[in-house]
Amino acid sequence: MTDLTTKLSTLSAAEKRSLLKQLIKKKTSAVATSTNDKDNDDIPLAYYDFSHSPQYRNLEQMIAGIKTKGGVVDPYFKVREGVNSNTVVINSREVINYSSYNYLGFAQDPDVCLATKEAIERYGTSVSASRLLSGEIPIHRELEQEIASLIGVEDAIVFTAGHATNESTIGHLFDKNDLILHDELIHNSIIQGCLLSGSTRISFPHNDWQTVDQILTEQRRRYKRILIVIEGVYSMDGDIPDLPKFIEIKKRHKGFLMVDEAHSMGVIGDRGRGIAEYYSDRINPTDVDLWMGTISKSFASCGGYIAGCQAVVRYLKYTAPAFVYSAGMSPGNTAAALASIRKLKAEPERVQSLHERAKLFLQLASDRGLNTGMSKHSAVIPVIVGNSVRCIQLSQAVFNRGINVMPQIYPAVEDKAARLRFFINFNHTPEQIHFTVNAVAEELAQI
């Protein structure tokens, strides 16, 4: 605490007001004398006009570069019609689509849509308050209980965005006395949470639990708490970490482990119950302290969750800023996720079909000599092109042949790792997959 904060905490409200008034008076008269005889003409335009800021200029240059170097139209913000599924309509043309997180096809499922409409009729379009303060509806708790039971832990809390779930949870639970170790390929939302927490942050080489173990052996005792953060399926590469090893390490060093299941929940494990099910013969779900997932992907909605022990969920419900000071999840979003999870439980065979589709894509890609990197057992499959400009050109070439897939280029990944990223979903047909892999291989050979 600074001297001023220490002093303020000992004063009454009236004394605080008077002290602050004096300080403000002193500050403003100092500013007034220092700027009195200047007219501010020397303050650069970039400091008070966004269109002249270096950040904005860089962005415009980057977009212009994509268009001219790639010789193509801007691949971002393409407007589509209809549901984001195995096909989409863009510019009145139907194309095969690989840019959707709608892994299990629930976003257009009649039962999910009906449950959503019924929830809106019953509760309206918004809960119009923070859940803590009159925003709570019964389906919020039902959703949280379904999520907890899906994973096999005590309880869960849902937030209105996956990104905010990570940022607020990590930023709120950890502080400057703590150490956070995260995989180098971790999602931006985790990094933002680490920055907010003020903890010491170390990014370790991808999947390298040996390095984590070594760092903790050397540094554990310098910190109060330690947190290790990994993903269930990595969102750029589609690979799965060695969860049992990370659990063993976090236990030995007496720390916490967080797993982001944005791309593993609903997708991996025989019944789509995520990485806990994938390793069910070797781990116990309660070995992970913070299970994080999004409901914007397999669960056809918008939002995120933290599942774990009752204490952590209860603490977050009463104190996490993105939960307490934010309106609760809308009835429609809550009902869509709830209906999707119930449907996943009732129809696990959907997951088997998804696995078959992804396996087929990987097999055909390997037969055609395409580089799919580390992808295995998941629905995220990159085709690594190895150069940002060629990657944009390839995405444009396959778009012309009726396939929508997004390029991932520098700075999202290193230039040499530039790739097309395919999200496979339950509704893709074998014919669509055969057609796609052939088209990609042919176009790649041309550019």
Ligand X SMILES: Cc1ncc(COP(=O)(O)O)c(C=O)c1O
Residues that bind ligand X in the complex, under the rule CB under 6 A: 161-163, 166, 187, 189, 231, 235, 260, 262-263, 294, 296, 304
Q: How far is the CB of 304 from ligand X (least distance, A)?
A: 5
Please answer whether residues 405 and 99 qualify as being in contact, where contact means their C-beta atoms are separated by less than 8 angstroms. Answer: yes
Residue 146 or 260: the one with the smaller Cβ distance to ligand X is 260
How, if at all, do strands 179-183 and 226-231 pair? Answer: parallel
Quote the least distance from Cβ 294 to ligand X, whole Å. Answer: 4
The 10 Å Cβ neighbour count of residue 385 is 26
Q: How far apart are CA 248 and CA 22, in angstroms?
A: 57
Min dist. Cβ of residue 292 to ligand X (A): 7
- Report the alpha-carbon distance of residue 100 to residue 354 in Å, rounded: 14
| Sheet hosting strand 403-404, strand order edge to edge | 80-81, 87-90, 93-97, 403-404
Tell me the closest approach of the beta carbon of residue 295 to ligand X, in angstroms.
7
**Closest approach of Cβ 189 to ligand X, in Å?**
5
Q: Name which of 86 and 235 has its Cβ closer to ligand X.
A: 235
Tell the smallest beta-carbon distance from residue 434 to ligand X (Å): 28
Token pair recorded at residue 177: 């006395």
Both tokens assigned to 411: 């700075």
Nearer to ligand X, 99 or 189 (CB): 189
Residue nearest to ligand X (CB): 162
CB atoms within 10 A of CB 364: 18
With respect to ligand X, which residue has the nearer C-beta, 97 or 296?
Answer: 296
The DSSP symbol for 178 reads -
What is the distance between the alpha carbons of residues 293 and 262, in angstroms, rounded to a whole number?
5
Nearer to ligand X, 131 or 182 (CB): 182
**Residue closer to ligand X (CB basis): 229 or 444:** 229
Confirm if 159 and 165 have CB atoms less than 8 A apart: yes
Considering the complex, state which of residue 163 and residue 350 has its C-beta at the smaller distance from ligand X.
163
Least Å distance, CB 260 to ligand X, is 5
The upper half-sphere exposure of residue 250, i.e. CA atoms within 13 Å in the direction of its Cβ, equals 26
- Here the tokens at position 38 are 């200047």
